[in-house]
């Protein structure tokens, strides 16, 4: 089974957006002085664009399903072996996510107290001191952690669905996964009354309460609702892997997407706008619901343009820059924060006030993206040797898991 170009394209677009938005947001000197009840339009736009974790979850879910089917049908692996491989992938990514966020991850912004909670290396780069990660950073669930949990849970779901002849019950599997996806998204409503309880547990460092609640209802990238995004991606991946007609894929997911998009938009326009406050409230829930529809339509558009339309492959071949970002998205994700901080330090020596306007930080972010473009252009000539992707491919190969990650 060939790689799905649209998924690589969406991954590339996503990581470019992460680099640009992180580089602009975290280096704006007056960020904590912004009136978030009456913010500038550009700040509102950036705030909306930062909420892209669901897209990464959807892409990851689609890849998980496609690989599951491919390894069973082409490599003849049984479902116990597939569960072992998906568990291995999820565990490696889970460990990687914590190493990343504790050591080189971006700052956690505390707008109430005006503080930045830095990772170990970033503390040294910004403050010139070594400091052990805070309790909040240790329990933080970042987007890599979320995708790792999705892979682990989705692998289990597919194992129980596919075993004992379940693999051939395609329509049953579609309905079960689609229903689970919707349930996990809508069930995330319970975060609204439960999150204040978790906040108090965090303040009191009550581990007996924090640990079981952390993965499900924490403020950033919890299972509720992001497993739902991942399962919608899994459903899409199964349609692709089972070689459903494009008309069937389009009809099914455009209906799902339209229902969620309309419901989310209706809720968004009828409630007070608290988006930039990052509150866990009804506004947050309706934004999440709308994003399900938005990301599904983005995936459908990319699939049509790069995989199912006429001259789709030719169009994808022209997207070399984005394709390269998609190849090494994990490497870029893990290194973009220290790299942008290094550039910021250099600029501050030349002009200490360079980041006083948001326009200046947007230009800075664009330069960082272009720099990464040059780096991966030359790195590709050596097949991204020693990148995180290259290392993971090598490691997984020893465990019997082949990957096409760097072979296209």
Structure confidence by residue, pLDDT tens digits, 192-237:
999 999 989 988 888 888 888 999 998 889 999 999 999 999 999 9
> How confident is the model at residue 108, as a pLDDT?
86
Q: Which candidate, 142, 138, 148, places its Cα nearest to that of 207?
A: 138
> How confident is the model at residue 112, as a pLDDT?
55
pLDDT in tens, 161-190: 999 999 999 999 999 999 999 999 999 999
> How confident is the model at residue 207, as a pLDDT?
83
What share of the chain in percent tops pLDDT 90?
A: 66
> How confident is the model at residue 208, as a pLDDT?
85
> How confident is the model at residue 51, as a pLDDT?
77
pLDDT in tens, 96-116: 999 999 999 998 876 656 678
> How confident is the model at residue 404, as a pLDDT?
61
Domain ranges of the chain: 5-398
Alpha-carbon distances of 43 from 105, 115, 231, 359, rounded to whole Å: 22, 19, 31, 11
Q: Is the pLDDT of residue 124 over 70?
A: yes
Say how far residue 111 (Cα) sits from the centre of its chain. Answer: 23
Alpha-carbon distances of 379 from 16, 237, 370, rounded to whole Å: 17, 30, 14
Residue indicated by tokens 């399903």: 65
pLDDT in tens, 249-289: 999 999 999 999 999 999 989 988 777 667 789 999 999 99
Q: Name the pTM for this structure.
A: 0.93
pLDDT in tens, 304-335: 999 997 887 777 777 888 989 998 999 999 99
Q: Is the pLDDT of residue 1 over 70?
A: no
Distance CA 225, CA 219 (A): 11
What share of the chain in percent tops pLDDT 70?
A: 93
> How confident is the model at residue 247, as a pLDDT?
96
Distance CA 302, CA 79 (A): 30
């Amino acid at each position: 089974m060939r790689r799905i170009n649209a998924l690589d394209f969406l991954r590339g677009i996503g990581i470019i957006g992460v680099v640009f938005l992180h580089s602009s947001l975290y280096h704006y000197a007056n960020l904590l002085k912004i009136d978030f009840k009456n913010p500038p339009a550009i700040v509102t736009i950036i705030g909306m664009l930062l909420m892209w974790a669901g897209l990464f979850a959807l892409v990851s879910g689609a890849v998980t399903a496609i690989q599951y089917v491919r390894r069973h049908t082409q490599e003849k692996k049984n479902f116990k072996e597939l569960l072992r491989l998906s568990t291995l992938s999820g565990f490696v990514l889970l460990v990687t996510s914590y190493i990343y966020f504790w050591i080189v991850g971006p700052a956690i912004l505390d707008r109430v107290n005006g503080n930045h909670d830095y990772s170990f290396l970033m503390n040294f780069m910004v403050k010139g001191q070594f400091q052990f990660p805070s309790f909040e950073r240790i329990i933080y669930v970042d987007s890599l952690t979320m995708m790792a949990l999705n892979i682990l849970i989705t692998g289990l779901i597919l194992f129980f669905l596919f075993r004992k002849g379940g693999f051939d019950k395609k329509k049953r599997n579609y309905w079960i996964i689609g229903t689970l996806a919707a349930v996990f998204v809508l069930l995330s409503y319970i975060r609204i009354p439960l999150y204040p309880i978790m906040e108090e547990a965090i303040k009191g460092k009550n581990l007996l309460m924090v640990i079981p609640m952390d993965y499900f209802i924490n403020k950033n990238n919890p299972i509720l609702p992001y497993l739902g995004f991942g399962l919608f991606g899994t459903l899409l991946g199964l349609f692709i892997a089972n070689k459903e007609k494009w008309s069937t894929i389009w009809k099914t997911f455009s209906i799902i997407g339209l229902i969620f998009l309309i419901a989310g938009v209706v809720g968004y326009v009828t409630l007070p706008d608290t988006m930039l406050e990052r509150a866990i409230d009804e506004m947050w829930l309706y934004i999440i619901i709308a994003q399900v529809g938005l990301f599904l339509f983005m995936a459908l558009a990319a699939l049509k343009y790069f995989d199912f339309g006429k001259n789709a492959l030719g169009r994808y071949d022209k997207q070399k820059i984005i394709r390269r970002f998609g190849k090494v998205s994990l490497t870029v994700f893990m290194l973009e924060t220290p790299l942008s901080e290094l550039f910021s330090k250099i600029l501050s020596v030349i002009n200490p006030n360079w980041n006083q306007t948001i326009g200046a930080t947007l230009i800075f972010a664009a330069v960082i993206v272009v720099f990464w473009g040059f780096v991966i252009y030359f790195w590709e000539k050596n097949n991204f040797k020693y990148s995180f992707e290259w290392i993971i491919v090598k490691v997984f190969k020893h465990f019997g898991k082949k990957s096409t990650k760097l072979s296209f």
